Structures are given as structure tokens and as C-alpha cells.
Amino acid sequence: MNSIDSTPAKNSLLSSEIGSERTLYPYVTGTSVIGIKYKDGILMAADMGGSYGSTLRYKSVERLKSIGKHSLLGASGEISDFQEILRYLDELILYDNMWDDGNSLGPKEVHNYLTRVMYNRRNKFNPLWNSLVLGGVKNGQKYLGTVSMIGVHFEDNHVATGFGNHLARPILRDEWHENLSFEDAVKLLEKCMRVLLYRDRSAINKLQIAKITEEEVTISQPYSLKTFWGFSAFQNPTKGAEGSW
């Protein structure tokens, strides 16, 4: 979904329209985001890399942000579109606060708003090139959902975007269970992020984990995972046959 098109499109038809601004391909992209429900709320993990095509251009991009009091948003894909979405949501939360009626927008409402925004943009052939993960807790109810760049949305106990769908979701399907403790949930997320670090070329070893519960939202400081490269077979792959490869 968030594939990077390295060759500019030969779209003579569309470029002939003067002043038309359509998103054709993403430039600065973030890789996968993973989110899981655990006993007290939602945990999300994302690394801090922003790739410009095949270069790792930015290494301190925060892709997890809190929205209002009750939600947490993580995004993969085009970073500038993510910043635009944050502006939309800022306006939304501000207007909600101005009502001053004691109600605040919960994760379900924000998820629905994002779905409408993404779907409408896609219908105009000008998508926001992101896959979003939205999680939160309101009135004891945990909510975890995802929206893709074309407006596909659903809600589940564990979600992932991009490469996380192929590498992390099999692990989560096997090992996630109801009422994970905080430590177990962090271990599970780190297991998934480690596999992504090994096997996704645009992942970097600098990640943040964000936690949201009924009481508080915390986004951790960036840290890195321990990796293991010391397999004996890696040391001398041609041990059995000199000169081969």
C-alpha cells in the first residue's frame, strides 16, 4: 500500500491540467506501526525512521502522537500527509473543546472522522498517503482500529500497517491473548519490532512505544533493541566448500 515509486509517473494527461495538485507518489515515508490491546489499554510501537526513497533521511521522526485525552494515533506512509492529518485533528479537538459541554471525543469518534477524511480524499483521486493506527480508552472501553489510504477501516485486537501485516501479524495471531500484562505486552511488541528490524529494509533500530490507559497517555523515550548476529553459520558460510558462495 505504501510502496515507494522511484520513477516519476509518465502522466502526460494529468500534468497537462494547470494547477492540479494530486498526490501521485509518496516522498518521505515511515515504515510499519504495530498496535495491540492489553489489560489496561492500548500499546503501540513505531520506529523513528523517515526514508526518502531508498535513503534513510530522517532518524528522529515521531510517528506516534496523542489526540485529545483519549486517543493515540500512529501513522506509516508519507510524513507530510501525517502532519496534515494532525492539523485536521487539532482543529477537530479544538472545536470539540470549545463546546465546553463535558463531553470529549473518544477513539471511536476520531476513528470514524479519519475514515471519512481518507475515503473522501481517495474519491477525489488525491489521497493522503498514510496507513493509520488509532487506539484509545474511554469509559473503560478499549478501542483499536486502523484506516488505510483508500479508506479501508476495521477494528481488531491487534493491528499493523505496511510490512507489519506480513511479519508481525502472524506472531500476534499466535501469541496475543486477552488481558496481557504490561510487561508481557511490551515483550510481545518488541519481539515483533525485532523481526521487522531484521527483515524490513526501511526499519531502523530506534523505536518508541506509546501507552494509553484510562488515566494517562505516555510516549516513551526513543530506545533501541538488542540484536543477535552471532550465528556460527554466518561466520563462515563456505566452510564445507572452499571457493563457493
Partner 1 sequence: MMICGRGIEKLRWIREDMMISLDVFLFLLRFMRLIQIQMSKSAIDVPPKGGFNFDLCRRNEMLFKKGVQPPSFRKTGTTIVGLVFQRLLFLFNQLHSSFSIFYLQDGVILGADTRATEGPIVCDKNCEKIHYMAPNIYCCGAGTAADTEAVTDMVSSQLQLHRYHSGRESRVVTALTLLKSHLFKHQGYVQAALVLGGVDVTGPHLHTIYPHGSTDTLPYATMGSGSLAAMSVFESKYREDLTRDEGIKIVSEAICSGIFNDLGSGSNVDICVITKGHKEYLRNHMLPNPRTYISSKGFSFSKQIEVLSTKVTPLKEKVVVIDGGDAMEE
Name the residues that contact partner 1, by CB under 8 A: 163, 166-171, 173-174, 191-192, 194-195, 198-199, 231-234, 237-241, 244-245
Q: Smallest gap, in angstroms, from Cβ of residue 192 to partner 1?
A: 8
Q: Is 23 one of the annotated active-site residues of the chain? A: yes
Of the two residues 95 and 198, which places its CB atom closer to partner 1 in the complex? 198
Provide, rounded to whole angstroms, the least separation between the CB of residue 43 and partner 1: 18
Distances (CA, A) of 126 to 12, 133, 178: 17, 20, 39
Q: How far is the CB of 193 from partner 1 (least distance, A)?
A: 11
Between 87 and 239, name the residue whose CB sits nearer to partner 1: 239
Please name which of 90, 184, 70 lies closest in space to residue 134, comparing C-alpha atoms: 70
* Phi, psi values for residue 205, rounded to 5°: -90, 60
Which of 23, 29, 31, 238 does the annotation list as catalytic?
23
CA dist list (Å): 60 to 47, 57, 203, 217: 9, 10, 12, 20
Query: How far apart, in whole angstroms, are the C-alpha atoms of residue 153 and residue 149?
Result: 9
Closest CA to 210 of 5, 93, 46, 83: 46
By C-beta, is 105 or 159 nearer to partner 1?
159
Q: What is the dihedral of CA 45, 205, 197, 204, to 10 degrees?
A: 90
CB of 203 to partner 1, least distance (A): 13
| Distance of closest approach, residue 151 Cβ to partner 1, in angstroms | 23
Complex with partner 1: residue 79 or 159, whichever CB lies closer = 159
Angle at 143 between CA 44 and CA 87, to 5 degrees: 70
At 197, the amino acid letter reads L
Q: At what angle do helices 182-199 and 163-175 cross, to 10 degrees?
A: 140
Closer residue to partner 1 in complex, CB, 1/171? 171
User: What are the catalytic residues?
Assistant: 23
